[in-house]
Structure 1
């Protein structure tokens, strides 16, 4: 049997949630030093280009709360009582003036009594409780005060009672008294642990029309009543002492007797005992708005404020184990509309998709981290940005060269077993057509028809990317571009030049080899020191491990070497740089040249002293110097690597005829 639920908004034909934008933003924040968990939380807070975030929803909740407090005041019921009282007194005076048969002394006494009424509406109502009204209209207006107070007091505890009991008869009021008595007996029995499910069912069968929420058991009934009753208490706490005293005095006049107030007091006590966790002692600071709140409406506003407070807490996600599934979509729709609930549901779906996409996983330490799959996706996005910057063809379609083992030579040859070169489709199809024409039939293609595109031989490379991780890189905003550069180069080599071997080396006070996951998750290091000597030692060790590969040395730095590794393994630091520190770095650079390394320095910053030092180091080893802006570092490093792979000058990564231009003319694809 099919089951249906209420449509909850949104586009039923909308595509599944797209996490690409979220993963890109999360990756950027992770490289800036955020944990993946925090980075995901930050994206959900900010939202995306076409997606409202938690901060926007929280702002709207705060604005709604502020509007409720500023737009209303708590004098609604008192104002209604005052108007009815003024009407009753005015009608009575008119009747006294018209009544010629009345004894002059009696008339004078009545007029004096009306003239001497207290200013307080509550005291005036009490004073007139035993007054013998001569005017029918005046008597009806005064009785409306008692009726209004009864309906308002009931509306505080049972939403909708004010309207339901308008023009109620004595029988209706008796039914309400009976319901309150039965309800209190049920709650007291429940408090003693003596009630049964049948007791609840019997009560609902008799009085269920007064509970539109349709509770399914006594606990649901208790929750509904306690929330409303606690809101009524908070409204009372929000009043001034004068307002509270007036209301208490008037309450005794509800329905013309104190019986109703006694039953409601008994109900409040039962609910406080059974649900002590509700906010019974809170209050709100209402403004002087022009919309006065009656007791029932005011209690509803207090409930709305409680809902808004709960939503603000849920949207903050600041408590342990917080999940977006905690956000109550029904409350959000009730307070901000269906559109807000749709936005929140999309965020819930996005969080779930991120956790289930395989992009993040928990390590043995319990910390959330990006998976290799997520790192590949982020690397591809960065590599596309690099390709656009190098080719100057932003927005144009990427071209594919899948399967090429090297650069195409333009020639073709018959396919042989083991070939990995791409098929030459025009030649292959032509061979099939010619064979079929000669044989007068046969299959469309046979293996003998296939020709492959010849490619030039490609030399393997051993690449050492040495990136400065000293405190100045983080201080001057170069930390994230450095990580993006490393990830882009790692992705390029892993996807297009799998025969090459890449070593990532970070050097600050000392140097160390790193996996790409370690480097991208590396927090900023504030220890002073730029140990180029140690980095070059590790780079040369990498080159010696691959004696048949072309060495490519890429050095990204924003400072002169200020530390070196001593024979004891200890790090020596000195600023300004010690001559021994410079000499040891130069010695290892010479060793890299003797190995045959193509060397490129990427100088960040405009320090003239650094520029002179780097230029002299590059000239010594016939290397190159590139001085990119931080945002162009990735394109510069990738271009230099590609230039070295083609046998061009080290660092040839941009300008007409360079390898950077090859990106635009030959196309680029990351598969």
Structure 2
């Protein structure tokens, strides 16, 4: 939907002329901030490294578009706006780290990048016979964003905003005046998102962990805004598996780990057993084969060469166990190796779940599309 702005002009037949509303132009700070949020994900939250990257980029591309606005001024503005906080390192030095507000902006940015693209796709990833986005009206309002249904706009509140923001003699409704009343579904879904942090996630010079982090951040923000009754738990798996919080996601780093898929699934099941929702599901983002399991005596059995029958058998048993517990697993395979895809196919058959073979570019769009479809089926 394109918004048209009324502009009072020289006298014409009706006294107005029309032009396409292009939106508010970004300030130098906003231009810097867009890139800085991306850099924080790539540097796993290292502010100093992200600032160093900004300096180099500004030398080549003039990020702000204003020669008088440079990186040092942007850094000061970040501190004034409360987007950075000071933290004392173990060696006694004081360093700058992202504040809670900055972490929220990173989540919102991931949601806009991934879920925003999903809603604008011409393929229609949100096909459903149900109208609207939910069953219950919420007391919360949020700004209108591209892709929202016109019927969801609260016109009373929007007109009030326009009245406040317009001059008396030049009343107009602008895009930033529009607000939408939130709705949510009556059903509840508990989701566990598993993220592979084994060494192969950065192997061969290809960064796969950053897109995975973006997906986790976008999912958390989506559920928080659109599905407040739902739960999302996050865990990472390498040699072992352990839960992580939303706040830890931007700082995740790949370790010198093998891939213990069994440990990740065991932890996911334990988490979902504690959830009261009837509908439960697991999303697993991985780019490699299972190569490690932990034995009952505490030792690790590892094999990085080929698909080990013993490890594969344990993984298939876990997939079947999830099926018996009515927990579908959706595996997002971000490697194109046909040899590994055969394992994923067997794993999916054992669970009666889903498998999507995707590249890094489409990872976020597909995982969010599948999340929406799973919800629709379970309402």
TM-score, normalised by the number of residues in structure 2: 0.71
Correspondence for 2:96:
368
Larger Rg: 1
2:271 to 513, 528, 542: 542
Within 5 Å, which residues of 2 pair with 1:230-379? 343-344=67-68, 346-365=70-89, 366-379=94-107
Please state how far the C-alpha of 1:571 moved relative to its aligned partner: 2.9
Confirm whether residue 385 of structure 1 aligns to residue 113 of structure 2.
yes
Correspondence for 1:41:
52
Contact preservation (8 Å) 2:196, 2:236: yes
In structure 2, the CA distance between the partners of 1:356 and 1:566, relative to structure 1 (3 Å rule), is farther
Please state how far the C-alpha of 1:648 moved relative to its aligned partner: 6.2
Please state how far the C-alpha of 1:50 moved relative to its aligned partner: 7.6
Correspondence for 2:309:
579
In structure 2, the CA distance between the partners of 1:571 and 1:358, relative to structure 1 (3 Å rule), is farther
Confirm whether residue 21 of structure 1 aligns to residue 31 of structure 2.
yes
Within 5 Å, which residues of 2 pair with 1:657-668? none
Alignment deviations for residues 103-125 of structure 1 (CA, whole Å, 9 cap, x no partner): xxxxxxxxxxxxxxxxxxxxxxx
In structure 2, the CA distance between the partners of 1:640 and 1:364, relative to structure 1 (3 Å rule), is farther
Correspondence for 1:159:
none
Please state how far the C-alpha of 1:25 moved relative to its aligned partner: 2.1
In structure 2, the CA distance between the partners of 1:52 and 1:528, relative to structure 1 (3 Å rule), is closer
Instruction: Give the 3-state SS of the residue equivalent to 1:363 in structure 2.
Output: strand
Instruction: Give the 3-state SS of the residue equivalent to 1:600 in structure 2.
Output: strand
Within 5 Å, which residues of 2 pair with 1:146-295? none
2:344 to 610, 614, 631: 614
Contact preservation (8 Å) 2:235, 2:244: yes
Partners of 1:27 and 1:474 in 2: how far apart? 20
Please state how far the C-alpha of 1:420 moved relative to its aligned partner: 4.2
Alignment deviations for residues 157-193 of structure 1 (CA, whole Å, 9 cap, x no partner): xxxxxxxxxxxxxxxxxxxxxxxxxxxxxxxxxxxxx
Contact preservation (8 Å) 2:197, 2:257: no
The runs of at least 4 aligned residues of structure 1 exceeding 6 Å deviation read 421-428, 453-456
Please state how far the C-alpha of 1:609 moved relative to its aligned partner: 1.3
Partners of 1:456 and 1:494 in 2: how far apart? 11
2:244 to 500, 505, 514: 514
Please state how far the C-alpha of 1:515 moved relative to its aligned partner: 1.7
Please state how far the C-alpha of 1:371 moved relative to its aligned partner: 2.1
Correspondence for 1:234:
none
Correspondence for 1:466:
194
In structure 2, the CA distance between the partners of 1:528 and 1:351, relative to structure 1 (3 Å rule), is closer
Please state how far the C-alpha of 1:555 moved relative to its aligned partner: 0.8
Alignment deviations for residues 278-331 of structure 1 (CA, whole Å, 9 cap, x no partner): xxxxxxxxxxxxxxxxxxxxxxxxxxxxxxxxxxxxxxxxxxxxxxxxxxxxxx
In the alignment, structure 2 segments of 5+ residues that lack a partner are 1-24, 123-130, 142-150, 157-180
Please state how far the C-alpha of 1:377 moved relative to its aligned partner: 1.3
Partners of 2:315 and 2:154 in 1: how far apart? 55
Partners of 2:192 and 2:34 in 1: how far apart? 26
Correspondence for 1:407:
134
In the alignment, structure 1 segments of 5+ residues that lack a partner are 1-14, 54-338, 395-403, 413-418, 429-452, 650-671
2:282 to 547, 553, 569: 553
Partners of 1:421 and 1:370 in 2: how far apart? 27
In structure 2, the CA distance between the partners of 1:547 and 1:347, relative to structure 1 (3 Å rule), is closer
Instruction: Give the 3-state SS of the residue equivalent to 2:67 in structure 1.
Output: helix
Partners of 2:116 and 2:155 in 1: how far apart? 32
In structure 2, the CA distance between the partners of 1:573 and 1:502, relative to structure 1 (3 Å rule), is same
Partners of 2:280 and 2:63 in 1: how far apart? 49
Partners of 2:32 and 2:182 in 1: how far apart? 41
2:235 to 493, 499, 505: 505
Correspondence for 1:645:
375
Contact preservation (8 Å) 1:465, 1:555: yes
In structure 2, the CA distance between the partners of 1:501 and 1:529, relative to structure 1 (3 Å rule), is same
Contact preservation (8 Å) 1:562, 1:577: yes
Contact preservation (8 Å) 1:463, 1:503: yes
Instruction: Give the 3-state SS of the residue equivalent to 1:477 in structure 2.
Output: coil
Contact preservation (8 Å) 2:292, 2:302: yes
Confirm whether residue 626 of structure 1 aligns to residue 350 of structure 2.
no
Alignment deviations for residues 491-531 of structure 1 (CA, whole Å, 9 cap, x no partner): 11122222211111111222221123323212332x24111
Correspondence for 1:654:
none
Partners of 1:503 and 1:602 in 2: how far apart? 17
Within 5 Å, which residues of 2 pair with 1:46-61? 46-47=57-58, 51=62
Correspondence for 1:32:
42
Contact preservation (8 Å) 1:361, 1:371: yes
Partners of 1:540 and 1:629 in 2: how far apart? 27
RMSD in angstroms over aligned alpha carbons? 3.6
